[in-house]
Amino acid sequence: MDTPHTTWPGRAVLHVDMDAFFASIEQLDHPEWRGLPVIVGGSATTRGVVSTASYEARRYGVHSAMPSAQAARLCPDAIWAPSRFDRYHEVSRAVVAVFERLTPFVQQVSVDEAYLDVTPTAHRPTHPLEVARTIQAEVDAMGLSCSIGVATCKTVAKIASDADKPHGITVVRPGDEAAFLAPMSVRALPGVGAATAERLRVAGIRTLGELAGLDDGSALQLMGSSGQELVRRARGIDDRPVHDPDAVKSVSNEHTFGTDVRTRAEIETALKKLVERVSERLRRKGLQGRTATVKLRYADFTTRTVRHTAALPMDLASDLLPVALRLLEDTWTPGAGLRLLGFGVSGFGERSEQLDLFTANAEDDTERSRALVDSIDAVRARFGSGAIRLGMHDAGPEPEEE
Amino acid sequence: MKISIARGELLDALSTVSRGLSSRTTLPILSGIHVSTTSASVVFQATDLEVSIKTSCQARVDESGQSVLPGKLLTDIVRSLPEAGITIETTGAGSAKITCGQSVFTMRTLSPEDYPKFPEISAEETVSLPTEQFSHIVHQVSRSVSRDETRPILTGILVVVDQNTLRMVATDSYRLCVKEVVVSGLSGGIELVVPGKAIEDVAKLVGSSESVSLGVSENQVVFTFGNTTFISRRIEGTFPNYRQLLPKEYVTRVVIDRVELLEAVKRVSLMAQHNSPIRLSVNTAEHTLRLSAAAQDIGEANEDIQAVPEGEDVEIAFSHAYLLDGVAVAEGDTIALEVTSPLKPGVIKNVEGDDFAYLLMPVRIG
């Protein structure tokens, strides 16, 4: 282990990963559940999946993304908690606020993980390990737990944060990256999925050390266009900056239905909810996009994606919804059962719009509707996204963010 | 028919009526210029059925008569000839001969019987306007005329004569230009919308004439200047109530050297590509107006110019083309720019007086 007394040359990146985040929040809010197996996700009676399992439940072999029915068989005494995304987002914001007190370079990649650039500078010479310890102590004080990877780049920091879970801090010193990664399975590398891992296995490559030794030609042949980049990362080389503002290429949400839906009303209601969620996220990020995408996955798992590019950038649900409904109309065959519905917006640029002298009243309407959605956003930011809804929603599960 | 005319006078007359030539090929007769004689002059006419133009010039008429000659070809020939006398003579079998020195052209003519009769207008109201003022106002407001045919009323210029003032207004719904002048000796009241192109043509043709008279009938407007009569249809409909668009007050006002602003806008516009706007920032403490523009993936431009500000700091963005037009047509060495909010129209005005206003709607930026 490193000590804060040795200097840290070059870049320092932390990857902070919350431990069993949703389950920990449930245990925090329900003190009687502490020390017991808690599973957050769809209940065993529907076609749900496990969102998060507490470490007590993980001992029974339960893990994220496992079908609920299987989890129920493995751990029959588990306490099942439905997802409360509003609450998780609220806690997530509080955790991010801790990060932001320590460095301006925070890139939240999901509700429970973030990268921080904590490269020591003349003005802020704190050693990266010291920063990691401070973060862990503050998260502990909130009644939660996190694991942190400390390294010179995002890839290594991410893998390091997973090396000693829960409540660990793993430091990979500058220069030690390749040695740290070498013995690990290729699956540990973000970007290597089951299919890629299988192709690599057939080629006799199981560890990151073996992957790191691959030449460019073989990398391209085995893994396609991203191959060379994956080999670089397996060597511990990753120049991606923390908080790259261009990183946001699209904002999208998807919803997997508990049971296939086939009526227009159900599908449109779900689409409206997705549009509203995407719209809210766009406005929160200050983004407007010109391209709207609707994704449909049918009962037989075939997936269709359709998109439309509008003349002007959009962020208001009132602008996005007609586009989304038209795309749905063009694509969905009435009666066809849907497993999954997705909606996204991309094509971000500086939003600019030539105003018109004679639609001044219409302008006022736009201003009013913008003022309205700003108020709704403010209410939701304070009380959660379930606090205020359009009248057309029926009560249903919250869509998952992608 | 046989006539002889000095080349310069003939060319002037042909250039004038050529503005009425039709480009529509469905009615070939309208591509011709109608030529007829009086005792000591020749009358030329052209029409595209929207406008009809008639002018005349002194000539030696050896043989009276009338004919319709191919307008563009005749004008091009006359333009190419040297400064000398030109003779036009109709021959028997539907053709005409044009002779100048050693040059001889013959051309097919069209039948004068097929040519539309020149409209007879009995003007209900007539006013006479000094040419210089008339042309200047048309030049100022005509850039704001809409080219979009879907709202016909905006393709015209509102002309108002009220007691002793002449006012013209044009708007394409993104900007609006209004200019008013006092004309001594005016009387009567006129209010009509004239097609932008027609009134621009008149302004170009009035040339050396001292005054232009404007007569109005129910459907048409007739401009008379020198030997020329220019008739256009009026545009039906109600022109937008521009008065209610003019802001009554402002939050920020800056007084700027007009030429300096014009040059700065031209420079910064180079970076305002693909309709990206120019941002204007008024800094009251520094007494500056900052112009900036950025083109994604290309670069940006900034320029600070000295200004005399009044009110609050403000930032507003305009289309560079609309801003440039406004600064270009404003008059005087210094101009005032008044702003109420980044989403309300900005106004370019004369520093003193309310006789000129160029409203332009901002571009909303994120």
Would you list the domain boundaries of chain B?
Answer: 2-114, 126-240, 246-360
Cβ pair A353:B364 closer than 8 A? yes
Angle at B206 between CA B202 and CA B212, to 5 degrees: 85
Domain assignment present for residue A239? The answer is no
Two domains, one topology: B2-114 and B126-240: yes
**Contacts (Cβ under 8 Å, ≥6 apart) of A302:** none
Predicted confidence band at A400 (pLDDT cuts at 50, 70, 90)?
very low
> Among candidates A241, A180, A173, which has minimal Cα distance to A212?
A180
For the sheet containing A106-110, what is the strand order?
A106-110, A113-117, A13-18, A146-151, A169-171
Predicted confidence band at A63 (pLDDT cuts at 50, 70, 90)?
confident
Same domain membership, residue A254 and residue A384: yes
- Higher pLDDT: A78 or A371? It is A78
Angle at A179 between CA A174 and CA A180, to 5 degrees: 80
Predicted confidence band at A271 (pLDDT cuts at 50, 70, 90)?
very high
pLDDT at site A311 = 60
List, as ranges, residues 188-247 from B with C-beta within 8 Å of A.
Answer: 240, 245
pTM of the model: 0.54
DSSP string for A267-321: HHHHHHHHHHHHHHHHHHHT--EEEEEEEEEETTS-EEEEEEEEEEEE--HHHHH
Class of domain B126-240: alpha beta
Q: Quick one: what percent of chain A has pLDDT higher than 70?
A: 88
pLDDT at site A185 = 92
Select from B294, B296, B361 the Cβ nearest to the Cβ of A357: B361
For residue A129, pLDDT over 60 is answered with yes
DSSP string for B214-268: EEE-SSEEEEEETTEEEEEEPPPSPPP-GGGGS-S--SEEEEEEHHHHHHHHHHH
Domain assignment present for residue A337? The answer is yes
> Among candidates B152, B225, B230, B236, which has minimal Cα distance to B192?
B236
Q: B361 and chain A: CB distance < 8 Å anywhere?
A: yes
Same domain membership, residue A212 and residue A284: no
> Among candidates A188, A169, A167, A168, which has minimal Cα distance to A24?
A167
Structure token pair of residue A276: 């509203």
B128, B133, B213, B222 from B184: Cα distances, Å: 10, 12, 14, 21
For residue A262, pLDDT over 50 is answered with yes
Structure token pair of residue A398: 């919250």
Longest dimension (CA), chain B: 82
**Span A136-157, mean pLDDT?**
95
pLDDT at site A360 = 55
Candidate list A26, A56, A113, A177, residue with the active-site label:
A113
DSSP string for A73-134: HH-TTPEEE---HHHHHHHHHHHHHHHHHH-S-EEEEETTEEEEE----SS----HHHHHHH
**Three-state SS at B137:** helix
pLDDT at site A395 = 45
Same domain membership, residue A108 and residue A9: yes
Final residue belonging to a domain, choices A151, A172, A193: A172
Q: Provide the shortest C-alpha distance from residue A355 to chain B (in Å).
A: 6
For residue A246, pLDDT over 70 is answered with no
pLDDT at site A65 = 81
Residues of chain B with C-beta less than 8 angstroms from the C-beta of A370: none
> Among candidates A125, A138, A206, A136, which has minimal Cα distance to A171?
A136
B316 HSE (CA, 13 A, CB side): 26
Lowest mean pLDDT among A278-287, A372-381, B139-148, B209-218: A372-381
For residue A399, pLDDT over 50 is answered with no
- Is the domain defined by B2-114 classed in CATH 3.10.150.10? yes
**Contacts (Cβ under 8 Å, ≥6 apart) of B280:** B289, B290, B291, B315, B316, B317, B318, B337, B346
**A340 touches A255 (CB < 8 A):** yes
A39, A41, A65, A335 from A46: Cα distances, Å: 14, 10, 14, 22
Predicted confidence band at A85 (pLDDT cuts at 50, 70, 90)?
confident
Same domain membership, residue A220 and residue A278: no
User: Residue A42 corresponds to which amino acid?
Assistant: G
pLDDT at site B294 = 80
pLDDT tens digits, residue range B156-192?
999 999 888 999 999 999 999 999 999 887 777 889 9
Final residue belonging to a domain, choices A118, A149, A172: A172
Domain assignment present for residue A242? The answer is no
Same domain membership, residue A168 and residue A252: no
For residue B145, pLDDT over 60 is answered with yes
CA A293 – CA A274 distance, rounded (Å): 11
CA B62 – CA B59 distance, rounded (Å): 9
Looking up residue A220, the CATH number of its domain turns out to be: 1.10.150.20
Q: How far, in whole angstroms, is CA B24 from its chain's centroid?
A: 22
Looking up residue A35, the CATH number of its domain turns out to be: 3.30.70.270
Q: Which of B172, B246, B343, B360 to mutate to test the interface with A (most CBs of A within 10 A)?
A: B343
Same domain membership, residue A146 and residue A108: yes
User: Residue B250 corresponds to which amino acid?
Assistant: Y
pLDDT tens digits, residue range A343-372?
999 877 555 677 888 875 445 555 666 677
Averaged confidence pLDDT in chain A: 84
Block residue for tokens 């929040």: A25
Total number of domains in chain A:
3
pLDDT at site A67 = 84
For residue B301, pLDDT over 70 is answered with yes
Domain assignment present for residue A241? The answer is no
CA A321 – CA A279 distance, rounded (Å): 10
Q: Quick one: what percent of chain A has pLDDT higher than 90?
A: 42
Domain assignment present for residue A222? The answer is yes
Structure token pair of residue B172: 């394409």
pLDDT at site A391 = 63
Q: Exposed, middle or buried by CB within 10 Å (0-12, 13-18, 19+), for B353?
A: exposed
Q: Exposed, middle or buried by CB within 10 Å (0-12, 13-18, 19+), for B133?
A: middle
Final residue belonging to a domain, choices A190, A205, A234: A234
pLDDT tens digits, residue range B116-137?
999 988 888 889 999 999 999 9
**Span A43-51, mean pLDDT?**
74
Select from A288, A350, A357 the Cβ nearest to the Cβ of B171: A357
In this complex, how many residue pairs, one in chain A and one in chain B, have their CB atoms less than 8 Å apart? 51
Same domain membership, residue A267 and residue A323: yes
CATH label, B246-360, candidates 3.10.150.10, 3.90.1300.10, 1.10.357.10, 3.40.390.10: 3.10.150.10
Same domain membership, residue A31 and residue A144: yes
For residue B238, pLDDT over 50 is answered with yes
pLDDT at site A367 = 62
Q: B171 and chain A: CB distance < 8 Å anywhere?
A: yes
Cβ pair B277:A351 closer than 8 A? no
**Number of helical (H) and strand (E) elements in chain A, helices listed first:** 14, 14
Which residues are B98's β-sheet partners? B88, B105
Specify whether A130 is catalytic: no
**Three-state SS at B58:** strand
Looking up residue A296, the CATH number of its domain turns out to be: 3.30.1490.100
For residue A2, pLDDT over 50 is answered with no
Q: Which domain holds residue A209?
A: 179-234
Residues for chain B: how many in total? Answer: 366
Q: Quick one: what percent of chain B has pLDDT higher than 90?
A: 74
